[in-house]
Structure 1
Amino acid sequence: MRTRSLAFTLLTLAATLAAGCSESPDDGNTGGAAGSGGLPSASGSGGGGASGSGGSITGGTSAASGGTGSASGSGSTTAGTGGGGEGGTGGSGGTGGTPNPGSGLGSGIMEGSGSSSERYETALVSRNDTPYVLITNGWGPGFDSHSISWEGTSFTVQSMSGTAGSMGQPASYPTVFCGRYSVMEVPECGLPAPVTSITSLRTGWRWAKNGNDAGEYNAAYDIWMGNGRQLRGYLMVWLRDPPSYQPAGQPNPAHQGVTVTNVPGTWNIWNGTVNGLPIVNWVRAEGNDSSEIEFDVMDFVRDAETRGLSVPGDQVNAVAVGFEIWEGPITNLQSLDFYVDVN
């Protein structure tokens, strides 16, 4: 039985805590509470995401059914809307803009390496001289332990143990992000930026299961919309939908099996609110994981508007990726490459 979390209700609480943890709003209802400017997840405790029993928490918005998670993190990120889906190299940018030819997947020069078993570790990293922030983000009440290593925007969950919270919150949401997210650090990566100033907002992510084929985790983008400082809503893109957990909100019957202009694959849309803030999730069908994608974030913004699912806010605050993990053990789960290219 798939569950849905109330985690999103805690996102706003976590956002006021900005201590260094992140939560996410959308997956499996595990949305997380934002740290400094992020949404707290409803069920997340700490900087985790706010996933309920089926939501994800990756340092972004939390899931709608999540509970009132504790505020132990210093912020939270929202977890994603990713679901399974066929991999792809992503479509070309939405309304134009020339992608940086050196920004594509596989071309990154990574700097900033380390490893940690700390529940809430924050590390400054870079890819092709563009700064990002990594957060280990073991925010959920069911978190037990983890060991995470990183180099630039790539990271490996070497080991993780824990269980979903009573309200379906993920145990952790290790994340890398560009912009103003769930912790105090704000890398000078080009975000936040006004929507009207963005010609294209290209991003790409490649990750690998490495044997974690049936694990209870998602792989999700967590995109925060707002006014540059305050969070106003969430967009999540789930590249993997786990067996037992689902995004915040409800499946939108009018928008199932849809395509997004310039973006590869098909998506099931879930939408609702988290802590009073709107969230829209584009989710790959379960069993159709996408291990690689490149796209223009603005194509998802426009897709939401076209479908009447607009999220308030005139700026893109942050773009994050990571794994909302509800249950361990997980070993050697990898984020291989991630970039954001603001034009």
Structure 2
Amino acid sequence: MRFRLRGAALAILAALASIAAVVALPLPAAQAEPVICEQYGSTTVQGRYVVQNNRWGTSATQCIDVTSSGFRVTQADGSVPTNGAPKSYPSIFLGCHYTNCSPGTNLPMRISDIQSVTSSIDYSYVNNATYNASYDIWLDPTPKRDGVNQTEIMIWFNRVGPVQPIGSPTASTTINGRSFQIWTGSNGSNNVISFLADSTINSWNFDVMPFINEAMRRGMADNSWYLTSIQAGFEPWEGGAGLAVNSFSAQVNEGGSSGGSTTIGGPSIGGSTTNGGSTTNGGTTTNGGTTTTGGTTGGTGGSCAVTYTENVWPGGFTANVTVRNNGSSPLNDWRLAFTLPSGQSVTSAWSATISPSSGSVTATPMSYNSTIAAGGSQSFGFQGTYSGSFSEPSSFSLNGTACTVS
């Protein structure tokens, strides 16, 4: 970390030098603002947030000039291919990131204990670079303070150049009065759900919880998980000098409940999604809305129940599956078996492993959701392709016992 003197202090020093032979005056204390060029260098602002350089994907120099309320990228050398990961993520955050926790933070916090997460952000953009302006929300089944979290929520406020979110577009939605395309996928280390703004957002005051609720609705987290950090910054692939977070604030307010309701401001999935700009996914994606199967009985035992909710577009779909244990004892290392209709194939999954990719398949849980408490439930989801007409599985069995479908 290096420091730069404020302009006023430099002017005073120059003036004093010109009259040094006449009179000796005491020098005023020079205020210093940090300029961070170290790869993972960081500092705190407002005694509340951490600003980090976070140059993780390149050896080229990157420097950020930290301000009292954010930062500006002053040097951003080098470039990386736009079909891969970005070269860095200079950002400001509340919470914990790889053991670096912001002062006095109440994160990690269990989602069920959160009433709201109020936040504001103000960005400055440039056009001579390739990047996104990304607001990141990290979730994990444990109160994790180090390493990679299980689910990453990304809000793309802006993008310049041929870059796109991880995965593929699966739906569209309106949250807090703004329209977004929803992308889902995995980067190999964690699941990612991205909200790509239909138009550039320069600044916004909003509640973060509707985005978390949407991730939970898709089986990518649940109320027992933890919110570990909230971050805002940029992912540059080429250049980036001049990008700035002018101001950032976030407040996690306790007082939630475990009801798990997912209320979002405006219409939910439906309509059409147009992937324009310079992304590789062009054209129009029609989302067939959300269909919940109902009334189909896979057995009379009643010890388990499955809710299967899908979102369908021509040639592709996502499915979210909730498995409920109606028995009096917990189920450990559960296995959910079902048959995909002819022509359907799984391309990716989250919160479970599905094998094989077609025909008679079995979903096995991850380590963090391998137990279903008595009267409780676990959720997972997957994305797939299909040919011909679309239909949903007709029956499910949990650990060999037929389940009702509701």
Fold match (TM-score > 0.5): yes
What whole-Å deviation, never above 9, does each CA across 1:275-316 have from its counterpart, x for those lacking one? Answer: 35321110113xx2111112111111122334x353356110
Question: Partner of 1:319 in structure 2?
Answer: 230
Question: Partner of 2:211 in structure 1?
Answer: 300
Shift in Å, 1:198: 1.1
**What's the TM-score, normalizing by structure 1?**
0.59
Q: Secondary structure of 2:209's partner? A: helix
Which amino acid in 2 is paired with 1:251? P
Shift in Å, 1:189: 2.3
Relative to structure 2, which stretch is displaced further, 315-324 or 148-157? Answer: 148-157
**What's the TM-score, normalizing by structure 2?**
0.50
| 1:155 maps to which of 44, 58, 71 | 71
- Paired with 1:284 and 1:134, the residues of 2 have a C-alpha distance of 24
CA separation of 1:220/1:121 partners in 2, compared to 1, >3 Å: closer, same or farther?
Answer: same
Question: Residue 232 in 1 paired to residue 150 in 2?
Answer: yes
| 1:168 maps to which of 63, 70, 84 | 84
CA contact (8 A) 1:153 1:176 kept: no
- Paired with 2:214 and 2:249, the residues of 1 have a C-alpha distance of 22
Of all paired residues, the percent bearing the same amino acid is 26
- Paired with 1:264 and 1:121, the residues of 2 have a C-alpha distance of 36
Q: Secondary structure of 1:305's partner? A: helix
CA separation of 1:140/1:183 partners in 2, compared to 1, >3 Å: closer, same or farther?
Answer: farther
- Paired with 2:166 and 2:106, the residues of 1 have a C-alpha distance of 28
Question: Partner of 1:145 in structure 2?
Answer: 61
CA RMSD of superposed structures (Å): 2.2
Q: Secondary structure of 2:137's partner? A: strand
CA contact (8 A) 1:112 1:152 kept: no
Q: Secondary structure of 1:331's partner? A: coil
CA separation of 1:273/1:334 partners in 2, compared to 1, >3 Å: closer, same or farther?
Answer: same
What whole-Å deviation, never above 9, does each CA across 1:149-180 have from its counterpart, x for those lacking one? Answer: 11234100012111015862212210111111
1:111-260 mapped onto 2 (5 Å cutoff): 113-126=33-46, 129=47, 131-141=48-58, 143-165=59-81, 168-209=84-125, 212-226=126-140, 227-229=142-144, 231-252=149-170, 255-256=171-172, 258-260=173-175
More strand per residue: 2
Shift in Å, 1:213: 2.1
- Paired with 1:175 and 1:123, the residues of 2 have a C-alpha distance of 11
Q: Secondary structure of 1:338's partner? A: strand
Shift in Å, 1:140: 0.8
- Paired with 1:277 and 1:172, the residues of 2 have a C-alpha distance of 17
CA separation of 1:159/1:297 partners in 2, compared to 1, >3 Å: closer, same or farther?
Answer: same
Which amino acid in 2 is paired with 1:136? N
Tell which structure's C-alpha radius of gyration is larger. Answer: 2
1 or 2 for the larger relative contact order (CA 8 Å, sep ≥6)? 1
- Paired with 2:52 and 2:189, the residues of 1 have a C-alpha distance of 25
- Paired with 2:115 and 2:101, the residues of 1 have a C-alpha distance of 25
Q: State how many pairs are aligned.
A: 218
Shift in Å, 1:145: 1.3
Where structure 2 has 5 or more consecutive residues not aligned to the other structure, the ranges are: 1-30, 254-406
